Each structure stands twice: as C-alpha cells, then as structure tokens.
C-alpha cells in the first residue's frame, strides 16, 4: 500500500471521526477527507473551528485543515480512496433494540462507490456479528473490497491523547485486511492487538458495559448510603484511601451519554436478554434522577425553585446527548414550582448563567460536575444536591456552608 494514501472517513465530522481524522492527517499518512451529511459541521471544520469540545483538537485542526484534511458532503472521493473508515452512529431503537438499518444503508452506498482492492474499516460500535454480515454482503456482490473492524475506545474529551496511546484492536477475516488495517493504525499508535471480528465486537461492548456496570455499583451504594442518611463520599473516600485494590471504585453520579447504556443494551440483546447485570445496571443508573427527586421531596418541592447546573452528560463536555440532567429536568417540571437549567458549554437556548440560576433557586442540583463550578459561590441558605461529591465540604460544621443534601448531611 502506498505511504501517501487517500483516506475517507464517513461520519467524519462527529465525535469519533473528527479526532481520528485530525490525528491521521497530522501523521503524514496522506490526504484525509471527512465525509458528513451535516452541513453546519462541515462548514465549521473547513473554517478551522471544532463543532464540539475536544481537548487540543482546534489547535490541530488549524495546523492540518485545508492541507492534509478537509470536510465535504460530496461522496465522489470514495471512488478513489485507498481506505474508507465508517463511523456513523449505531443507536438503539425506540424498543431499546440495536438497529443496523442506517449502518447498512450507509454501507450499501459505500460499497457501490468503493474501488476494488480498497480497504473498508468499520469503526462504529456494532452489534456482534455485524462485521461478518458486512463481509458476506461484500462477497455476495462479487466485490474485492478488504474489510476490517477496528473499534474506537476513546473517551470524549481525551480523544487526541488516547488515540495515540491506547493499543488499537484490529480484526479481519483475511490476513491482508488485518495487515493493512494494522499498518494504518501503527502510524498513530505504538501497538495493535489482533482479534477475530466477533471477539473484537465483544471486546468493545465488554469495555463499555463494564464501565456502565461499574458506575451502577457506585450509584447503588450511593442510594443505599443516602437512604440511611449517610454520606456516600465520606465512606467511599475511606474505602479507596491507600487501598489499591479499590482504585476502580468510581464516584456516584449520572451515568449517561450516547454510548454506555446503548452498548450495554446491545450486549443484553446479544445475550437473548439474559444479561441480568446489564439490565440491573440500567435500572440503577436510569433511576438515579428519580432517587434524587425523592430525596428533594422532603423540601416541599411544589413551593421551590430548583436549578440544575450541568446539562452535559459528563463533566467538562458540551455533549448533552442522552444526558440524565434532562430526565431530571422533566421529573422536576412536574413537581417543582420552577426549574432553571444552566451549562457553560451546552448549546441550548433555554439555559441561563449559573450565577443567575443559583441566585433565583432554593435548591441547586449538580447535573454534570464541570470543573468551573468549583469556583462558584454557593450562598449558605441554598440547599445543594451533589451526588457527584463535587463540592465536598472541607468543614461540614462551618456556618459558611450551604445546607447539603446528597452525599452530604441534610
């Protein structure tokens, strides 16, 4: 394979495609074209502006944009591409079942345009067995397109760091596809791991489900401690202190976003709905907003104004996809006199500044523990619900502290 390649990333302006495109474009692998259907994102990328937050990405975009990287909605570049990487989304449907319809439609269009002897890399998180179905689809059409599955394992916000440090799992049915995919990823990271496609599909789903289950353990312990009027963070901190075996004991807080629940449900479907721990984790994590609401009910909510700080699905992010802060907002809109929402990063016209939300609210809930919130002043007459333990009171007897609910004493 030539060292200067034409690489096309389909879904290239998204959270997975764009960081990968930036890193590839900065490693002299050739020309990277990001194909996307979102005109606003394409325009933003071509103007050198990131369409979403990702540490270090805008700087890199300014270096490679217009040189070795460009974004477009035109798909004719696929015809001359040596490598096509597809990263379009793979959501679950309204029945919480994995859906591959969109992925297949997208793949059919790709296969029609791709040249023989080119390499197709699936990078979306897929339902187990999808790589084999795609492989069969290619062969049944008599096409000689090489196929690999190389799952993405980055966490949003750390993509540039993790793309070049995490080992890349590479899977294919044929040695040539495996070797070509491996060579490509060795341009950006130091090591790759070979697996069979089904193993690689499960490896990705195990990764996300394990994290989701892990967060559910903390959230279950949080609810347990809190329902006895105990401070979860105080207990957790004692457990992990100088005790390496408990390093993976996470803090409590909303476990949400576009991947963890969705991928746990893909594994549940694959198990024939016998993945009991996965479903239990879903009940716990999705139930945390309801638990917080129940905690707050002791405060006569119908007369209270409640502010939610942080509408993103996680800290220091502008991504509000499937954020549980919005679920909490809906629940509160039924129970509270007024609900105010704030987030410094999320684009949502209904949001107001944090200072105003705190000033007007009786009760303040931390939805996402953005680091900047540590600087906020919380007046002592406010009730604070902080399941994340963001504002752990240094001295809980101090009269300067607000009244604390959730991971702190009432």
Site residues, ligand NAD (CB under 6 A):
10-11, 13-17, 35-38, 41, 87-90, 106, 124-125, 152, 154, 156, 258-259
Closer residue to ligand NAD in complex, CB, 36/318: 36
Q: How far is the CB of 77 from ligand NAD (least distance, A)?
A: 12
Q: How far is the CB of 351 from ligand NAD (least distance, A)?
A: 21
Close Cβ partners of 240 (under 8 Å, ≥ 6 residues apart): 246, 247, 249
Q: Is the CB of 168 or the CB of 295 nearer to ligand NAD?
A: 168
Eight-class DSSP state of 250: P
Between 14 and 389, CB nearer to ligand NAD:
14
Q: Is the dihedral of CA 193, 196, 197, 199 positive or negative?
A: negative
User: Which CB atom, from 123 or from 251, has the smaller least distance to ligand NAD?
Assistant: 123
Least distance from ligand NAD to the Cβ atom of residue 388, Å: 20
Task: Rank residues 158 and 279 by Cβ distance to ligand NAD and give the closer one.
Answer: 158
**Residue pair 147/118 in contact by the 8 Å Cβ criterion:** no
We find the least distance from the C-beta atom of residue 18 to ligand NAD, in angstroms, to be 8
Q: In the bound complex, which residue of the shown chain has the CB atom lying closest to ligand NAD?
A: 14
Composition of the chain by helix, strand, coil, percent to 5: 45, 15, 45
Of the pair 4, 105, the CB lying nearest ligand NAD is at: 105
Minimum CB distance to ligand NAD, residue 38 (Å): 4
Region label for 341, one of left (φ > 0), alpha (ψ between -120 and 50) or beta (otherwise): beta
Could you tell me the smallest distance in angstroms from the CB atom of residue 325 to ligand NAD?
18
Identity of the residue, 78 or 393, whose beta carbon is nearer to ligand NAD in the bound complex: 78
Closest separation between CB of residue 292 and ligand NAD, Å? 25
Confirm if 346 and 315 have CB atoms less than 8 A apart: no
Shortest distance in whole angstroms from residue 393 CB to ligand NAD: 33
CB of 303 to ligand NAD, least distance (A): 40
Cβ–Cβ < 8 Å for 15, 52: yes
Task: Give me 228's structure tokens.
Answer: 């006895």
Tokens read off for 181:
């995919």
> DSSP letter at 65?
B
**Which CB sits closer to ligand NAD, 236 or 370?**
370
Let me know: does 21 contact 32? Beta carbons within 8 Å. yes
Task: Give Cβ neighbours of residue 234 (< 8 Å, ≥ 6 apart).
Answer: none
Instruction: Determine phi and psi for 125, rounding to 5 degrees.
Output: -80, 120
CB neighbours of 261 closer than 8 A, spacing ≥ 6?
Answer: 212, 255, 282, 285, 286, 322
User: Quick one: 74 exposed, middle or buried, by C-beta within 10 A (0-12, 13-18, 19+)?
Assistant: exposed
Q: Are 55 and 157 in contact (CB under 8 A)?
A: yes
CB closer to ligand NAD out of 184 and 259? 259
């Amino acid at each position: 394979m030539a060292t200067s390649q034409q690489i096309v990333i389909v879904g290239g302006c998204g959270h997975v495609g764009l960081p990968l495109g930036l890193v590839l474009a900065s490693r002299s692998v050739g020309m990277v074209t990001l194909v996307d259907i979102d005109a606003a994102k394409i325009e933003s990328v071509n103007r050198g502006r990131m369409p979403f937050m990702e540490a270090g990405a805008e700087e890199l975009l300014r270096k490679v944009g217009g040189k070795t990287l460009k974004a477009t909605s035109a798909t004719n570049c696929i015809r001359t591409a040596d490598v096509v990487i597809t990263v379009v989304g793979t959501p679950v449907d309204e029945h919480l079942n994995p859906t591959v319809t969109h992925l297949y439609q997208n793949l059919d269009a790709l296969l029609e345009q791709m040249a023989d002897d080119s390499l197709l890399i699936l990078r979306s998180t897929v339902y187990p067995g999808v790589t084999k179905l795609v492989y069969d689809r290619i062969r049944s059409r008599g096409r000689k397109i090489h196929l690999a599955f190389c799952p993405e394992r980055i966490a949003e916000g750390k993509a540039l760091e993790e793309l070049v440090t995490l080992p890349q799992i590479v899977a294919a049915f044929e040695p040539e596809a495996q070797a070509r995919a491996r060579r490509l990823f060795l341009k950006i990271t130091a090591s790759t791991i070979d697996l069979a496609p089904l193993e690689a599909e499960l490896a990705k789903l195990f990764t996300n489900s394990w994290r989701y289950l892990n967060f559910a353990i903390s959230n279950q312990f949080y609810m347990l401690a809190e329902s006895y009027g105990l401070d979860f963070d105080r207990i957790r901190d004692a457990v992990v202190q100088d005790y390496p075996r408990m390093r993976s004991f996470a803090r409590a807080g909303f476990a949400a976003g576009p991947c963890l629940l969705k991928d746990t449900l893909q594994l549940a479907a694959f198990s024939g709905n016998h993945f009991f721990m996965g479903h239990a984790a879903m009940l716990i994590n999705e139930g945390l907003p309801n638990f917080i609401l129940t905690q707050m009910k002791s405060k006569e909510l119908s007369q209270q104004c409640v502010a939610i700080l942080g509408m993103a699905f996680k800290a220091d992010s502008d991504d509000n996809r499937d954020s549980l802060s919005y679920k909490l907002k809906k629940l509160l809109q039924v129970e509270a006199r007024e609900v105010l929402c704030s987030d410094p990063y999320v684009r949502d016209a209904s949001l107001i500044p944090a200072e105003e939300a705190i000033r007007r609210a009786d009760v303040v809930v931390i939805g996402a523990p953005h680091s900047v919130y540590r600087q906020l002043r919380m007046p002592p007459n406010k009730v604070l619900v902080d399941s994340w333990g963001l504002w752990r009171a240094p001295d809980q007897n101090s009269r300067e502290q607000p009244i604390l609910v959730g991971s702190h004493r009432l």
